[in-house]
Amino acid sequence: MNLVKVSDLFEVKYGVNLELINLNEVPQRSKEAICFVSRTENNNGVSAFVEKNNDVKPISSGTLTVAGGGSVLATFLQPYEYYSGRDLFYLTPKRKMTEREMIYYTICIKRNRYRYSYNRQANKTIRDLFIPAKVPDRFQKLRIDELNIKSASNKKPPLFDRKWGWFSLGDLFTFEKGERLTKLDRIGGDVPLITAGENNNGVSEHISFEDFKDKKKLFENKITIDMFFNVFYHNDKYFSDDNIHTLVPINFELNKLNSLFLVAILSKLKHKYAYGRQVRLMRLPFEKIKLPVDKIGNPDLKFMEDYIKSLPYSASI
């Protein structure tokens, strides 16, 4: 593969370098709203919507934003004009590129993040990063299905005027810990292996069903919590390693929709496990979450399902 520098394909410029504290934030749907892109790796880099400043020209849409500091090399294609915060660069293609080509290069630039660990910033070196000269044909031809923005239900169940109650996890679930499986012992196959991590729904690779069906527990339609309290729902069958805790409901059934509601609630506990404090089986049963309840005080699973159905994109679930 022929590699070239970022500066060979893109004109690299420093952004307008505005401070959000000095701008007037407005609702996203406001006619005056301009995206404010910062160094975050969330929400396509957009951290706020602000009022247009007649003294500052927004950066054009169709450019890439690259964080030089903060979430270093967080790179996104911006579909709307925007303002930028500090340590943010924007890249304008030197030749006409399709949206798919631009997205490919966001991935390539992000893949250089390993060079910037231990607080090393990328401000002076973005131009010299190496990326492929051409987008591979397999990526150009890759089929990407469009998500259906529609909700699965037109009903809008009220979330905030519901009655909620506290529940210990140990009253709702039993916990099944996975079995240790080193990389050297893994044999490739078709069954997802869930390990600790916040990416790819916890799936690190796929292993052989035939080789491990008698050695490892096989789960399906379950929620998992890893040692760092990353929480995921798994609709399909999976194996897990010893850093994964599978939640098995006590006297109730879960489906995909109410499981996703629970994942969102459970994820709120993640902050308790920062700075090296890891999830242990002896701690999990005593963690508490607040859930909507029915008339007799039990978790209202039907409401949770209906609420997820009411959200945008739920028709694609």
Say yes or no to pLDDT of 274 above 80.
no
Query: Alpha-carbon Rg of the chain, whole angstroms?
Result: 23
Tokens of 256: 């995909």
Pick the residue with more confidence: 242 or 141? 242
Say yes or no to pLDDT of 21 above 80.
yes
Mean pLDDT to the nearest integer, 146-172: 89
CA distance 127 to 89: 10
Pick the residue with more confidence: 210 or 118? 210
Hey, where are the domains in the chain?
Answer: 3-140, 164-316
Mean pLDDT to the nearest integer, 20-34: 88
Q: Would residue 118 be called left, alpha or beta, if left means φ above 0 and alpha means ψ between -120 and 50 degrees?
A: left
Host H or E run for residue 184 = none
CA distance 279 to 274: 10
Burial of 156 (0-12, 13-18, 19+ CB in 10 A): exposed
Pick the residue with more confidence: 144 or 127? 127
Mean pLDDT highest for which of 40-54, 108-122, 141-155, 212-226? Answer: 212-226
Nearest to 222 by CA among 165, 260, 187, 275: 260
Say yes or no to pLDDT of 230 above 70.
yes
Say yes or no to pLDDT of 117 above 80.
no
E-strand ranges in 238-303 read 239-240, 244-249, 288-292
Tokens of 191: 């069954």
Q: Which residues contact 222 (CB under 8 A, 6 or more apart)?
A: 233, 234, 246, 247, 248, 254
Q: pLDDT of 57-73, one tens digit each?
A: 999 999 999 999 888 99
DSSP string over 81-122: -EEE-TTEEEEEESS---HHHHHHHHHHHHTTGGGG-TT---
Name the pairing type of β-strands 46-51 and 33-37.
Answer: antiparallel
Q: Which residues contact 14 (CB under 8 A, 6 or more apart)?
A: 88, 89
Q: For residue 195, what pLDDT is reported?
A: 95
Q: pLDDT of 178-204, one tens digit each?
A: 999 998 999 999 999 999 998 889 999
Q: For residue 96, what pLDDT is reported?
A: 95
Q: What percent of the chain has pLDDT over 70?
A: 98
3-state secondary structure of 12: strand
Mean pLDDT to the nearest integer, 150-154: 88
Tokens of 166: 């506290």
Topology annotation, domain 164-316? Adenine-n6-DNA-methyltransferase TaqI; Chain A, domain 2 (3.90.220)
CA distance 48 to 50: 6
Say yes or no to pLDDT of 9 above 80.
yes
Q: What percent of the chain has pLDDT over 90?
A: 72
Q: What rounded mean pLDDT belongs to the chain?
A: 92
Name the pairing type of β-strands 63-67 and 75-78.
Answer: antiparallel
CATH fold match for the domains 3-140 and 164-316: yes
Say yes or no to pLDDT of 140 above 90.
no
Specify the CATH class of 3-140 in words: alpha beta
Q: For residue 29, what pLDDT is reported?
A: 78
Distance (Å) of CA 20 to CA 41, 80, 83, 142:
17, 18, 10, 38
Q: For residue 118, what pLDDT is reported?
A: 66
**Helical spans, DSSP H, in the chain:** 6-9, 99-110, 137-140, 169-172, 209-212, 256-266, 301-309
Nearest to 88 by CA among 36, 134, 42: 36
Model confidence at 277, pLDDT cuts 50, 70, 90, reads confident
